[in-house]
With several copies, the nearest count.
Chain A
């Protein structure tokens, strides 16, 4: 494993020429060799953050970018020693696969023989042996993606930056490449920043995930942190499917027309919203007293490995329930549901939101 660098963003904001503030001043510290995923909805500033780190944009006055503690804020990308993989790959159409991969080496005046060796090694690493002579437009999407990766790695960058490298691919291929990429990143041990808006990709790949919301960082944490312990409505909603139930607090419960859920904190009589995951809901036999909600099935979706139910429990939007695949459900059927107390989430400060 090579000696990887740490990255620090200090008070890095970004206001574009047209006055749009894409990024409010953020703080971010990335450890050497870590894979950090920037995750968030479209327009939240993921790409902008990545480009600040790359040296393709420069932060507003006061912002600083440090690589291994050293200030690189003013350095343009060609001097930062970063490798970058772009969303649409940005392969040079006027060069072959091999020439693309070797471009950075050529710029660095590495002799041709050495370049050829390196091309072969990299092609093998990304499972594209023998494609060095291909024209770019003769590659499939997945192959292009691999070439882009090989090209970025060829110059042995200190930092690897990837901007939605899998988004343009279809679902099946995306899953395969995600596994490959995961393995590769762990082997290389290079500091990596990965941008995506796909939460499952983020959780699968990231050592830590940075969830962003409208130019700000909403939460930084491991995938488990952000899934089990979201710090806000926004994060909870954005990661996975989340149910919300709204009712009136009182007597250690939140009550709504279809039942009540245990909840102790709020002032009695006030509105309260509780959240929980579909997979945390159990369908229980009615009349056993274990149920804490009852409702009518609005729709059923057979998803193969499970069946998803939308159940109206009279508490705002329908409750989504994932059940084992064996049971069979009818729209209109009434069922009893139970959510264990430990699975309930509540955000005091955001109730109004």
Chain B
């Protein structure tokens, strides 16, 4: 059978879209190691810009990693039990649970600017808090919490948790034994998927952080915005390159996890 005209139109469009999404990434990575992007690659390649970014902005990178990890810890400790409640309260059909789910999405729906403004208005007067990394962390936790809750909740809902728990109960396991022995191991893939998402989003969060940060709490994306505005294109590109090197492995891991989750969740 010959491929139809339609096939080639769709193929062409797909390639175009892929190019649109991927080429800028590649271009910016190349720009980060080009000696002079204005002249082009003929100017040669260099690690100068990367070294410069590393010198200038290294601290923002470590800071962002630290915040992302802290964010992961908090969202896991708080989000997994929360998802459990959403999945199980009143057999998973409670209005309260749906309302909470809705509420949790609000910090994602509402522009980050507003969340940040609200945090500053409400807690800006506590100087120690305001000028510490905790302040940024709070913003990140609010924004990323639903991204932990949702995949965990989804796995909980598809993993026949109620039946598994009933089975465990029939074998004599009490509520806590069930939560740690049955629930947690069986939603681990959801936690992993959520964790990767949380870390990724936290590392890249700009809209909230931009308003929340102080000179001592500048994060990677804020630094990126700075460098885009006030530095050579090559420096901004080098910084972006570093960002990509941090984030892309996480994204690939995420792909892998969701892939294996899907095949494992089915019971």
Q: CB–CB under 8 A between A and B in the complex?
A: yes
Residues on A facing B (Cβ under 8 Å): 17, 54, 56, 58, 76-79, 82-84, 86, 88, 90-94, 103-104, 107-108, 137, 151-152, 154-155, 161
Q: A342 vs B160: C-alpha distance in the bound complex, in angstroms?
A: 51
Interface contact B171-A107, CB-CB below 8 Å? yes
Interface contact B169-A94, CB-CB below 8 Å? no
Q: Please, which residue of chain B has its CB at the minimum distance from the CB of A104?
A: B171
A and B contact pairs by CB, cutoff 8 A, 11 listed = A56-B166, A78-B171, A92-B168, A92-B186, A93-B159, A93-B267, A103-B168, A104-B172, A152-B170, A154-B171, A161-B170
Interface contact B168-A83, CB-CB below 8 Å? no
Interface contact A82-B267, CB-CB below 8 Å? no
Interface contact A84-B166, CB-CB below 8 Å? yes
A56 CB contacts on chain B under 8 angstroms: 166, 169-170
Residues on B facing A (Cβ under 8 Å): 1, 90, 159-160, 163-164, 166-174, 177, 181-182, 185-186, 188, 264, 267
Interface contact B169-A78, CB-CB below 8 Å? yes
A84 CB contacts on chain B under 8 angstroms: 166-167, 170
Q: Please, which residue of chain A has its CB at the minimum distance from the CB of B177?
A: A107
A78 CB contacts on chain B under 8 angstroms: 169-174
Q: With A58-B1, A155-B171, A155-B172 known to touch, is A92 a contact of B166 (CB < 8 Å)?
A: no
Q: With A77-B169, A78-B169, A78-B170 known to touch, is A93 a contact of B1 (CB < 8 Å)?
A: no
- Since A17-B90, A161-B170 are in contact, a sample of 4 more A-B pairs with Cβ atoms closer than 8 Å, ordered by chain A residue number, is A82-B170, A90-B164, A103-B171, A108-B172
Q: With A93-B186, A94-B186 known to touch, is A88 a contact of B160 (CB < 8 Å)?
A: yes
Q: A170 vs B171: C-alpha distance in the bound complex, in angstroms?
A: 28
A137 CB contacts on chain B under 8 angstroms: 264
Q: A108 vs B90: C-alpha distance in the bound complex, in angstroms?
A: 29
Interface contact A54-B170, CB-CB below 8 Å? yes
Interface contact B172-A86, CB-CB below 8 Å? no
Q: A94 vs B160: C-alpha distance in the bound complex, in angstroms?
A: 13
B159 CB contacts on chain A under 8 angstroms: 93
A200: shortest Cβ distance to chain B, in Å?
26
A286: shortest Cβ distance to chain B, in Å?
48
Partner of A93, one of B166, B173, B264: B264
Partner of A92, one of B164, B188, B264: B164
A184: shortest Cβ distance to chain B, in Å?
18
Interface contact B172-A90, CB-CB below 8 Å? no
B173 CB contacts on chain A under 8 angstroms: 78, 103-104, 107
Q: A91 vs B164: C-alpha distance in the bound complex, in angstroms?
A: 7
Q: Return the 7 tightest CB-CB contacts between A and B, nearest first.
A: A104-B171, A94-B185, A84-B170, A90-B167, A90-B163, A77-B169, A78-B169
A217: shortest Cβ distance to chain B, in Å?
24
B264 CB contacts on chain A under 8 angstroms: 93, 137
A54 CB contacts on chain B under 8 angstroms: 170
A265: shortest Cβ distance to chain B, in Å?
50
A79 CB contacts on chain B under 8 angstroms: 172
Q: Please, which residue of chain A has its CB at the minimum distance from the CB of B91?
A: A17
Q: A152 vs B172: C-alpha distance in the bound complex, in angstroms?
A: 11
Q: A83 vs B170: C-alpha distance in the bound complex, in angstroms?
A: 6
B1 CB contacts on chain A under 8 angstroms: 58
Q: A151 vs B172: C-alpha distance in the bound complex, in angstroms?
A: 12
A82: shortest Cβ distance to chain B, in Å?
6
B144: shortest Cβ distance to chain A, in Å?
26
B267 CB contacts on chain A under 8 angstroms: 88, 93
A141: shortest Cβ distance to chain B, in Å?
12
Interface contact B170-A77, CB-CB below 8 Å? yes
Q: A78 vs B169: C-alpha distance in the bound complex, in angstroms?
A: 5
Interface contact B166-A77, CB-CB below 8 Å? yes
Q: Please, which residue of chain A has its CB at the minimum distance from the CB of B1?
A: A58
Q: Please, which residue of chain A has its CB at the minimum distance from the CB of B184?
A: A94
